[in-house]
Structure 1
Amino acid sequence: MCSKWDNDEVIERFREYVRIPSVHPDIDYDDCVKFLKKQANDLDLPVIVYELVPKKPVVVITWEGVQPELPSILLNSHMDVVPVYEEHWTYPPFDAVVTEDGYIYGRGTLDMKGIGMMHLEAVRRLKTAGVRLKRTVLVSFVPDEETGSVDGMRVFSESPEFKKLNIGFALDESGPSLSSTEILAFYGERTSRQIVVTCRGDPGHGSLLSSDTAGEKLHYIINKFMTLRAEEKSKVDSGTWVGDITTINLTQLSGGVQINVLPENLTVSFDIRIAPDVDHDEFDDMISKWCKEAGDGVTFEYVVKNPQVKNTKIDGSVPFWDVMKNVVVDMGYTIKCVICPGATDARHVRRQGIPAINFSPILETPMLLHAHNERIHVDMYKKGIDIFENVLVAIANVP
């Protein structure tokens, strides 16, 4: 499909990146690396590809500041995208079609190749204009965020190579906003936990009302978790931001060998996101108490047990946040800064003691992350670059 934006170099670079099918489950990042190296070469900027895990490259493009000894600014994004159900898309998800009314369709336009290219385009504009910033700016592109970052930002953030980058402040992804003036940002995240509870009981014939059954114990456990879920959901229904509460969802049930045989064991799995103000030890003690109350043979284990990570302070003690907020306000926008309801690579950066804000200046756009027909309007994409350009000048010139 031809459009009036086909000769727009800014849009064409973005579309070229979106066309690379860096999609799970079997990702080959080679084309992303080639594309990003080309961008660095066009900008006359050095680029390093770290491969701490085979076939899981981390690309870092460096724009050195006039005071490189100062802690640097990190602009992070991930190269991978989630799978698609192509039959439900209006246009092929990796064709990066631009419609006549200006919408760019493609997997990754919002999550988060669009943000990665906004970072680069902001750098391109400033460098082309001859601007020099005090602090070094690092534009990073990491793998595997969509599958938990195990081979991506997590391993990179724990490496000596990462520490040598001397990062003082980082930006990562948030989400689009339906508002024309209010940008959504995150200063912290809930802690993701995935738990499996196993309930063991005496097997027997399905015609009997035996005691000490796995089913009775499972019922008790499910009732406890779902009661807490209902209490937390009532807070959201009353207007509490979802990132400020603990979410619990029953996601799997398994066990039993035959309908007329009482099972020796049954298991139930829950996806839990713990609110920032919840004491983790007390939360574990509560689950242990429930298991004990349910009866003998009831145990739990964490499949995923992420550590609690401190939020970035937005109380005036982090100057990068203050100048960033001020410049956005000066442009006529506001920032709604809240706890992220999900999980992003920023948690690994914060875990290293580095303040980070999740910031996606995409306005008047529905939340189509991971959805069919993911898209962004040309005007909103370019407006995002405008905002990043001003934010970058502000945070990279903090004394």
Structure 2
Amino acid sequence: MAVSYLLWTLFIFSIIFSLQSNSQEQQEEEDTPITRFQKYLRINTAHPNPNYTAPISFLLDQARLIGLTSRTIEFVPGKPILLLTWLGSNLNLPSILFNSHLDYVPAESEKWIHPPFSAHRTIDGLIYARGAQDDKCIGVQYLEAIKNLKSRGFSPLRTIHISYVPEEELGGFDGMMKFAASSEFKDLNLGFVMDEGQASPGDEFRVFYGERTPWHLVIRAEGIPGHGAKLYDNSAMENLMKSVELISKFRETQFDLVKAGKAANSEVISVNPVYLKAGTPSTNGFVMNMQPSEAEAGYDLRLHPMADPNLMEKRIAEEWAPSIRNMTYIFKVKGNLRDNLGRPIMTPIDDSNPWWFIFKQAVEATGGKLAKPEVLLSTTDSRFIRAMGIPVLGFSPMSNTPVLVHDHNEFLRDTVFMKGIEVYESVISALSSFEGVSAQVI
């Protein structure tokens, strides 16, 4: 009797477990905005070997279901740009572009709570994945918002484009830079563009109207080699160390402004040493009794939009790497600080820019609040578009979310993701319905 009861109990438990498993599998297989987001996140597009074929295939499937037209462009083989389009009713008006990038930075799996390419969703709704914030979230939110607008019968006045570009994490040189300079880009007749932003730990959404420009500087010094025991004037190392000291003092003055609360990090010129290279190699490391004839240092400079590029280069040429000390310099990267009309590369956030007012109203219509507009600390693909005089705002609707860009355990809460779709519905409908701007450049 006891054995029979035990078997019966085990049988009941097995049925319950099977039903729970089936229910969980069905839930995981449901086609919802959340599961579509997870599917996109699970496609590994991390450097150094991002898989671009799979995400574009996924996005094309979504575009077909929604009814968007599509085309794929390659300016560099193996690095495709996907462009999706929803035609507006007035093709004479400049169009709107929503941009995101396909790639993301690597992840150290062993340092994550959940595997970085699993898009694991916890019981309290946290979705862990590389790219959850930067920036596959907006890539899916654009499509989900358009899907919802179409289901309600909305018809845009302006044509809406969505672009998915490669290589943003490597500087965008084989992606947006080439796209923005192309005839295909010019033919879009863009009036306004939205690109990625960042999360906000508070209850306000952050928005960015500009970003700092990268200059990657290499300084070289030369001198007469000699015995390590002798003192020389103008040796390579002596000259380089003088420059290192001067650059360190400049860095300190800029950082003091930040520490004193007089400027944000993004409002000063940052300069950080990246490497030092000198010495005569030997089998045991370096020859210690010989002074090298060459020495080199690399620096990452970031210039805020209002910085004077001519004054900065004058400082480098006359103080940091003067030729009278047998020094030279080169820029491995030297981004522009002025657009095609000679203006600082910033998008106006006042009455001179009607797009700003429309965008702000659209966000507030969803109950959202905008924080004080910012200059982005780092760089995005926006700089290539702003340089052409086209207004761009960087925006990712993630409030009450820690900033985990390029960090371990990057995540986005499911409710924050869903709220972002609602926000983009309002933004896309408002921007694409705006009749007031007919010129491409403001």
Q: Which amino acid aligns with 1:315?
A: D
Secondary structure at 1:304 match in 2: strand
The 5-angstrom pairing of residues 13-162 of structure 1 reads 13-162=36-185
CA contact (8 A) 2:130 2:410 kept: yes
Tell me the distance in 2 between the aligned counterparts of 1:16 and 1:38.
12
Tell me the distance in 1 between the aligned counterparts of 2:234 and 2:257.
36
Partner of 2:216: 194
Structure 1 residue 268 and structure 2 residue 291: aligned? no
Q: Which amino acid aligns with 2:231?
A: L
Tell me the distance in 1 between the aligned counterparts of 2:303 and 2:313.
11
Match of 2:318 among 289, 292, 306: 289
Partner of 1:316: 351
CA contact (8 A) 1:291 1:299 kept: no
Shift of 1:119: 1.1
Shift of 1:228: 0.8
Shift of 1:388: 1.1
Shift of 1:293: 5.4
> 1:294-313, CA deviations, whole angstroms, 9 ceiling, x for partnerless residues?
84311111111111142111
Partner of 1:339: 375
Unaligned residue ranges in structure 2 (runs of 5+): 1-20, 281-286, 339-344, 436-442
Partner of 1:249: 272
Match of 2:227 among 187, 205, 227: 205
Tell me the distance in 2 between the aligned counterparts of 1:149 and 1:3.
39
Secondary structure at 1:333 match in 2: coil
Match of 1:329 among 334, 339, 364: 364
Tell me the distance in 2 between the aligned counterparts of 1:126 and 1:245.
41
| TM-score when normalising by structure 1 | 0.97
Seq. identity, %: 37
Shift of 1:235: 1.1
Shift of 1:129: 1.2
Q: Could you say what the CA RMSD is over the residues aligned between the two structures, in angstroms?
A: 1.6
Tell me the distance in 2 between the aligned counterparts of 1:122 and 1:188.
25
Structure 1 residue 185 and structure 2 residue 214: aligned? no
Aligned length: 398
CA contact (8 A) 2:365 2:426 kept: no
Tell me the distance in 1 between the aligned counterparts of 2:67 and 2:233.
74
Tell me the distance in 2 between the aligned counterparts of 1:305 and 1:327.
36
Partner of 2:237: 215
CA contact (8 A) 1:84 1:93 kept: yes
75-84 or 4-13: bigger deviation: 4-13
> 1:79-102, CA deviations, whole angstroms, 9 ceiling, x for partnerless residues?
001101000111111111111110
Tell me the distance in 1 between the aligned counterparts of 2:321 and 2:75.
43
Tell me the distance in 1 between the aligned counterparts of 2:270 and 2:403.
20
> 1:19-62, CA deviations, whole angstroms, 9 ceiling, x for partnerless residues?
10011111231101100110111111111111121111110111
Secondary structure at 1:183 match in 2: coil
| TM-score when normalising by structure 2 | 0.87
Tell me the distance in 1 between the aligned counterparts of 2:75 and 2:310.
33
Partner of 1:235: 257
CA contact (8 A) 1:3 1:100 kept: no
Query: Between Structure 1 and Structure 2, whose CA radius of gyration is higher?
Result: 2
Unaligned residue ranges in structure 1 (runs of 5+): none
